Amino acid sequence: MAVLHITKDTFEAEVLNSDKPVLLDFWASWCGPCRMIGPILDEIADEREDIKVCKVNVDEEPELASQYQVVSIPTLLVIENGKIVNQSLGAKPKAQILAML
Partner 1 sequence: MSKVYDMIIVGGGPGGYTAALYAARAGMSVVVLEKLAAGGQMVETPQIDNYPGYIDGVDGYTLGQQMCKHAEKYGAQTRYTEVTKLSLQPEMKAAETPEGVYYGKTLVVATGANPKHLGVPGEQELLGRGVHYCASCDGMFYRGKTVVVVGGGNTAAADALLLSRVAEKVILVHRRDTLRAARVYHKPLMQAQNVEFYWNSQVQEIRSGEIVVQNVHSGQKNTIPCDGVFVGIGRQPASELVKGMLELDEGNYIVGDETTATNIPGVFAVGDVRAKALRQIVTAVSDGAVAVHYAEEYLATLTE
Q: Can you give the binding site for partner 1, defined by CB under 8 A?
A: 28, 30-37, 39-40, 65, 69-73, 75, 89-95
Tell me the three state secondary structure of residue 65: helix
Question: Does the annotation count 54 as an active-site position?
Answer: no
d(CA 47, CA 66): 30
User: Which is the catalytic residue, given 28, 31, 98, 101?
Assistant: 31
Q: How far is the CB of 28 from partner 1 (least distance, A)?
A: 7
Nearest approach in angstroms of CB 57 to partner 1 is 12
Residue whose CB is less far from partner 1, 3 or 18: 3
Name the residue nearer to partner 1 (CB basis): 39 or 82: 39
Smallest separation (angstroms) from partner 1 to the CB of 26: 10
CA separation, residue 47 to residues 2, 23, 24, 64, 74 (Å): 10, 13, 16, 27, 21
CA angle, corner 99, sides to 96 and 101, nearest 5?
130
Query: Whats the size of the chain, residue-wise?
Result: 101
Catalytic residues: 31, 34
